[in-house]
Amino acid sequence: MRAPRWTPFAASPHALALGAFVLGACSTVAVQSAASEPPAEARPQNSETIAALPAPESPQPTVLPLPEAPMQISPNDMATIQHLARGQNAYLGRLVMKPGAAVPAHRDPTEEFIFVLEGQGTMTIEGETHEVEAGTAIYMPANAEVSFQNGDAQMIAVQVFAGPEPAAKYEAWAPVPQG
């Protein structure tokens, strides 16, 4: 069976539903945090790591303005991830990649969704290459081999993992001071 052709967001009702969910999540930027997490004034004002905010045992709804969301930068200084929400069953991040940046081939243990807000590039999923651009929704099954090559402009995307475990890879990235 041939994989579905990846088309711009407006072409697919499934992508439209995903986009509505992702955009709604981004606009509210609701964040689940552990009941044992220290109050806001006791938390560090810079982003330590995503590990500093463990997946909650008993999630408590909270709201986090985008400028206050912890951010980390890749070791090669080509990408940043802003941690928008992390719960027991999902992770939501805002990924920004510099022109020419690349994500090497890898596999994540959970499903992953990307919604491209700005920019364009080439996504490879299980050996099949897809050109993606702003307005494209991408679905990657659990354990699929994926890679990405960014184009010649900055790319901004919303990233959703079906489970917080894959976001642990960002622990190797350096914190970006807030403010």
Asked if the structure places residue 93 within a domain, the reply is yes
pLDDT tens digits, one per residue of 74-98: 999 999 999 998 888 888 999 999 9
Report the C-alpha gap between 37 and 70 in whole angstroms: 15
pLDDT of residue 58: 66
pLDDT of residue 57: 65
Angle at 25 between CA 59 and CA 71, to 5 degrees: 75
- Domain tally, the chain: 1
How many angstroms from the chain centroid is the CA of residue 87?
13
Kindly indicate the confidence band of residue 172, based on its pLDDT and cuts at 50, 70 and 90. confident
Asked if the structure places residue 4 within a domain, the reply is no
CATH number reported for the structural domain that contains residue 106 in this entry: 2.60.120.10
153 contacts 119 by C-beta, under 8 angstroms = yes
Q: Which residues contact 61 (CB under 8 A, 6 or more apart)?
A: 30, 32
Asked if the structure places residue 120 within a domain, the reply is yes
82-to-8, 141, 142 alpha-carbon distances in Å: 24, 23, 22
Average pLDDT over the chain reads 75
Residue 4 pLDDT greater than 50, yes or no: no
Asked if the structure places residue 3 within a domain, the reply is no
Q: Which residues contact 10 (CB under 8 A, 6 or more apart)?
A: 16, 135
Asked if the structure places residue 69 within a domain, the reply is yes
Mean pLDDT of 103-120: 95
Q: Which residues contact 145 (CB under 8 A, 6 or more apart)?
A: 105, 106, 107, 125, 126, 127
Residue 107 CA neighbour count, 13 Å, CB half = 8
Element (H, E) at 21: helix 13-28
Kindly indicate the confidence band of residue 17, based on its pLDDT and cuts at 50, 70 and 90. very low
Asked if the structure places residue 127 within a domain, the reply is yes
Q: Domain of 114?
A: 9-175
pLDDT of residue 47: 40
pLDDT tens digits, one per residue of 30-88: 222 222 233 344 333 344 444 445 455 666 787 889 999 999 999 999 999 999 988 88
Residue 102 pLDDT greater than 70, yes or no: yes
pLDDT of residue 36: 29
Report the C-alpha gap between 133 and 151 in whole angstroms: 9
pLDDT tens digits, one per residue of 113-168: 999 999 999 999 999 999 999 999 999 999 999 999 999 999 999 999 887 777 77
112 contacts 95 by C-beta, under 8 angstroms = no
